[in-house]
Amino acid sequence: MISNNKNEVQINNEIKDKEIRLIDADGTMLGVVSTSEALELASQKNLDLVKISPNAVPPVCKIADYNKTMYEKAKKEKEAKKSQKVVTLKEVRLSAKIEEHDLEVKSKNACKFLLEGNKVKASIRFKGRQQKYTTDGFDVLSRFADSIKEVGSVEKAPALEGRIITMMISPKKL
């Protein structure tokens, strides 16, 4: 018999409930029966009694091949994981006194990141006396946002946090 963790499915003699709602191997509902009766039906068909919904009242069990059930469950989880899209955050660092060509290069890189489906964080760090010229930083970020507006939209407007101005840009749905 398999040792049971909390996230594992209970089978056969591990099911301690007095009454269960039983589903046959072909999917027909057999109704509420005692656990011993359900175990007897499963053994007659050379299959396992698998608890599929432990939180229901009474718990729902199905007569099925345990290994096949676990294989199907793993297959569904793998398929669900495959369809997920992982969004990563890429950072583009700018400066308040950036030249026009450098800004174009940075925006081209940001466009590439956005087309891949990633979010972009644009930031400008101020050192020493540059702190007085934060308005230049906001201007640079607005020019940067204008240059990538075809592929991305501003998710979080530029905001000054200490010595750093940050802006979040998310990809547009195509």
In a domain, 1, yes or no: no
User: Are residues 50 and 95 both part of a single domain?
Assistant: no
The pTM (predicted TM-score) of the whole model is 0.53
Residue 162 Cα distances to 24, 79, 124, 168, angstroms: 65, 44, 11, 17
Q: Is 169 exposed, middle or buried (0-12, 13-18, 19+ CB in 10 A)?
A: buried
26 burial type by CB count under 10 A (0-12 exposed, 13-18 middle, 19+ buried): exposed
70 and 123 in a single domain? The answer is no
pLDDT score, position 96: 86
pLDDT at 3: 45
Average confidence (pLDDT) per 10 residues, the chain, 174 residues:
54 81 84 85 85 83 84 86 80 90 92 90 89 87 91 90 91 77
- CATH number of the domain at 112, please: 3.30.110.10
21: domain CATH number? Answer: 3.10.20.80
**Nearest C-alpha neighbor of 42 from the set 64, 27, 20, 15:** 64
Quote the number of domains for the chain.
2
Are residue 122 and residue 93 in the same domain, yes or no?
yes
Instruction: Judge if 16 and 67 occupy the same domain.
Output: yes
Q: Does residue 2 sit within a domain?
A: no
Residue linked to tokens 């592929």: 151
The per-residue pLDDT for 173 is: 75
- The two tokens of residue 155 are 């998710």
* CA atoms lying within 13 Å on the CB side of residue 21: 12
Q: Are residues 67 and 96 in the same domain?
A: no
Per-residue pLDDT, 31: 83
134 token code pair? 């934060």
Asked if residue 101 and residue 167 are part of one domain, the reply reads yes
Does residue 70 sit in the same domain as residue 93? Answer: no
Of the three residues 61, 79, 97, the one that is the final residue of a domain is 79
Residue 136: which domain range? Answer: 89-171
pLDDT computed for residue 2 by the predictor: 44
Neighbours of 67 (CB within 10 A): 9
Among 79, 114, 131, identify where a domain stops. 79
Q: Is 84 within a domain? A: no
Closest by CA position to 104, among listed 139, 151, 143: 143
